[in-house]
């Protein structure tokens, strides 16, 4: 049975903002050098020994995390809207990037704005993969993922928190979201915030439309926005 939202409007709530710190690097080892060594080891794994490679990857990832060398884990997921890059930190889901954005550029931005300690670690994104699979198969109407909001701040963060509370299958206008974020006349700024949403799909900016029902914009492309609204029965 699909899970259901318990909140029916844009009511105030905080979710998934707990944080967890990672330990420092081992004594005498420079973090950047150690992280680079782990990355080189991962790239050197033999593609012909899948089971052994998976085990070695998991072990190296755990080693990096235990030594304070893993701040961001990422994975590429094959979804009905294409190959999507997802990244998480110990705080929660940090980034979701659609196929029309360069994965290398997204990772470079994360390295510059959050931390260069990034590893491809699909097993650390298993819950994200599972919930997104359930969403696209119609088995999930709400996400239970912790979120890391650090890529947003101020009014933009308030807009996205309001957007995260829009129920599955419902739509609101840019003005509605701006009002909920505390700026009734800030619908243009709200549109800008939604266009820069770092966690689309999970923070459902596709549910925000122009007054009159026009689609407006969408970072993943209007065809994706239309598809998501149709999946939820909102179009």
CATH number of the domain enclosing 125: 3.30.160.70
pLDDT digits (tens, 9 = 90+) for 144-171: 999 999 999 999 999 999 999 999 999 9
Looking up residue 173, the CATH number of its domain turns out to be 1.10.10.10
pLDDT of 27? 43
Say how many domains are in the chain.
Answer: 3
- Print the domain residue range for 38: 22-69
Residue with tokens 């029309």: 100
- Looking at the structure, tell me whether residues 87 and 146 fall in a common domain: yes
Could you tell me the pTM of the whole model? 0.74
Q: Are residues 167 and 212 in the same domain?
A: yes
Nearest to 80 by CA among 224, 229, 234: 224
**Listed residues 9, 38, 69: the one ending a domain:** 69
CA distance 30 to 116: 13
Q: Are residues 172 and 226 in the same domain?
A: yes
Burial of 11 (0-12, 13-18, 19+ CB in 10 A): exposed
Residues 185 and 221 in one domain: yes
For residue range 196-230, what is the model confidence (pLDDT) as tens digits?
Answer: 999 999 999 999 999 999 999 999 999 999 999 99
Residue 184 resides in a domain: yes
Confirm whether 81 is domain-assigned.
yes
User: How far is 126 from 98, CA to CA, in rounded Å?
Assistant: 18
Same domain as 195, residue 158 = yes
Q: Please check whether residues 106 and 84 belong to one and the same domain.
A: yes
Half-sphere CA count of 62, side-chain side, radius 13 A: 7
Task: For strands 82-89 and 92-97, give the pairing.
Answer: antiparallel
- Distance of alpha carbon 50 from the chain centroid: 28
pLDDT reported for residue 35:
54
Residues 37 and 97 in one domain: no
Nearest of 149, 147, 165 to residue 157 by alpha carbon = 149
pLDDT at 55: 63
* Tens place of pLDDT per residue across the chain (235 aa): 554 443 444 433 343 443 333 333 444 445 555 555 555 555 555 445 456 556 655 665 666 566 567 999 999 999 999 999 999 999 999 999 999 999 999 999 999 999 999 999 999 999 999 999 999 999 999 999 999 999 999 999 999 999 999 999 999 999 999 999 999 999 999 999 999 999 999 999 999 999 999 999 999 999 999 999 999 999 8
Distance in angstroms (rounded) separating the CA atoms of residues 42 and 163: 38
Of 86, 177, 190, 205, catalytic: 205
- Check if 191 is active-site: no
pLDDT the model gives residue 207: 98
Show the DSSP H helices in the chain as ranges.
31-43, 50-66, 103-113, 126-136, 154-163, 174-180, 187-195, 222-231
- Rounded to an integer, what distance in angstroms lies between the CA atom of residue 200 and that of residue 121? 21
220 and 168 both lie in a single domain: yes
Q: What distance in Å separates the CA atoms of residue 157 and residue 31, rounded to the nearest whole number?
A: 31
Q: Are 61 and 41 found together in one domain? A: yes
Per DSSP, the residues of 95-116 read EEE-TTS-HHHHHHHHHHHT-S
């Amino acid at each position: 049975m699909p899970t259901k939202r318990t909140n029916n409007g844009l009511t105030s709530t905080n979710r998934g903002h707990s944080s967890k710190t990672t330990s420092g690097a081992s004594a005498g080892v420079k973090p950047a050098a150690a992280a680079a060594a782990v990355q080189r080891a991962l790239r050197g794994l033999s593609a012909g020994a899948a089971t052994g490679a998976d085990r070695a990857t998991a072990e190296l990832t755990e080693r990096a995390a235990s030594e304070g060398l893993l701040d961001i884990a990422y994975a590429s997921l094959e979804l009905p809207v294409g190959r999507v890059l997802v990244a998480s930190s110990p705080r929660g889901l940090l980034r979701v990037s659609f196929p029309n954005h360069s994965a290398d550029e997204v990772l470079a931005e994360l390295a510059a704005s959050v931390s260069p300690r990034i590893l491809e670690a699909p097993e650390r994104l298993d819950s994200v993969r599972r919930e997104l699979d359930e969403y696209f198969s119609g088995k999930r109407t709400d996400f239970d993922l912790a979120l890391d909001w650090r890529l947003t701040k101020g009014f933009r963060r308030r807009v996205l928190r309001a957007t995260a509370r829009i129920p599955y299958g419902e739509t609101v206008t840019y003005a509605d979201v701006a009002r909920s974020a505390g700026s009734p006349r800030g619908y243009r700024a709200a549109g800008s915030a939604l266009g820069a949403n770092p966690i689309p799909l999970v923070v459902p900016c596709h549910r925000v439309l122009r007054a009159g029902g026009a689609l407006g914009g969408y970072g993943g492309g209007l065809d994706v926005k239309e598809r998501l609204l149709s999946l939820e029965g909102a179009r």
